[in-house]
Amino acid sequence: PLVLGIETSCDETGIGIVRGRTLLSNTIASSMDEHARYGGVVPEVAARAHLEEMQPAIERALAEAQVRLEDLDAVAVTSGPGLAGALMVGIGAAKGLAVSLGKPLYAVNHLVGHIAADILTPDSVPLEYPTIALLVSGGHTSLLHVRDLTTDVELLGETVDDAAGEAFDKVARILGLPYPGGPEIDRAAVGGDPAAIRFPRGLSRASDLEKHRYDFSFSGLKTAVARWIEREQAAGSEIPVADVAASFREAVVDVLVTKALAACADRGVPRLLLGGGVIANRRLREVALARAAEVGATVRIPPLSLCTDNGAMIAGLAAELIASGRQPSTLAFGADSTLPVTEIQVAEDRAS
């Protein structure tokens, strides 16, 4: 099916068009520049930007895909999780489009969309089930057992405080680096020694592992970095920014990869799928690939343009739902800022 997907859960207005598993276009307009001076995404600024970007983004996506609105078989939209006001703009646009075109509407889960990005990866061998998925973004850090993208996504664990991307953003701020912090820390870490400072690995002690085997915590790590810097400054020492950045990054990457591979081993699933904007981190990809190889597990990493928020993954997930015979959503759904990852589609019309 030819599907147009609309994604507005955060600061990216993403419009993507797919035909089945083939990606036709993926346009993204980000309001990041407007948020940068506030040091984080401002919800109302994001919502207003979506409103302005929506129409031009849809037109660009159609032009790039060389299709017309009338050609579409369905419209898809992110219904959550995310910023409520931002989500509402996309949902309003999607409902209007579906009703005016007389086409079915699929309201889908943003987090499962991040996993669906994998199936749009050009020239890749088809995704094999089950797979363990590690989703790391600005708002989420989740470990999933995916038996089927359209029917069965189990949440194994998630962060109990900050998301991994959020930790990068906060530590960057502590180091005086600009927002968003992920790429800045990556750059600052060049030439740094990842073993220079032993920062804590959250929820990794034997006593933590009983209850939180697959959960993450990055807030203690952030505080540890802040305290370490304060102590050095109090002692009049120069802050070795490259070493701090490299050591912090190593702590995050170590715990992410260790827990993901533990899930693979426990579940007897030697397959790991990575998703979310933090996958841009070079060290994370490197360590994941190396350690997975040691234990005979495979790692799938979609191209970066499909890892950060985008509309194509939303369209791709809807195309999978359609292919598996699922009914469209009714129009009776709103924005759910805390939609759990286990709810793959919302408001499916079970009556029809």
Paired sense of beta strands 271-275 and 74-80, if any? unpaired
Query: Distance between CA 29 and CA 190 in Å, rounded?
Result: 29
**Smallest gap, in angstroms, from Cβ of residue 67 to Mg ion?**
26
Amino acid at 74: A
Q: Between 230 and 286, name the residue whose CB sits nearer to ligand ATP.
A: 286
52-111 residues in contact with ligand ATP (CB under 6 A) are: 82
Query: Distance between CA 322 and CA 328 in Å, rounded?
Result: 8
The yes or no reply on residue 11 touching Fe ion (CB under 5 A) is no
| Residue from 10, 51, 112, 225 in contact with ligand ATP (CB under 6 A) | 10
Among 317, 284, 315, 314, smallest CA distance to 299 is for 284
| Residue from 169, 215, 243, 320 in contact with ligand ATP (CB under 6 A) | 169
126-185 residues in contact with Fe ion (CB under 5 A) are: 137
179-208 residues in contact with ligand ATP (CB under 6 A) are: 180-183, 186
248-287 residues in contact with ligand ATP (CB under 6 A) are: 276-278, 280-281
**Part in contact with Fe ion (CB under 5 A); list of ranges 23-31, 42-50, 292-300, 303-311:** 303-311
Q: Between 103 and 140, name the residue whose CB sits nearer to ligand ATP.
A: 140
Assess contact for 65 and 312: CB atoms under 8 A. Answer: no
Task: Work out the widest C-alpha separation in the chain, in whole angstroms.
Answer: 71
**Smallest gap, in angstroms, from Cβ of residue 149 to ligand ATP?**
17
Paired sense of beta strands 105-109 and 345-346, if any? antiparallel
Q: Between 137 and 247, name the residue whose CB sits nearer to Fe ion.
A: 137
Assess contact for 112 and 282: CB atoms under 8 A. Answer: no
**Smallest gap, in angstroms, from Cβ of residue 199 to ligand ATP?**
15
Query: Distance between CA 189 and CA 174 in Å, rounded?
Result: 15
Q: For binding to Fe ion (CB under 5 A), which residues are involved?
A: 137, 309
Task: Please state the residue numbers annotated as binding site for Fe cation.
Answer: 110, 114, 309
Residues that bind Mg ion in the complex, under the rule CB under 5 A: 10, 309
Q: Which residues are annotated as a binding site for substrate?
A: 135-139, 169, 182, 186, 281
Kindly list the residues in this chain that would bind ligand ATP in the complex (CB under 6 A).
Answer: 9-10, 82, 137-140, 165-166, 168-169, 180-183, 186, 276-278, 280-281, 308-309
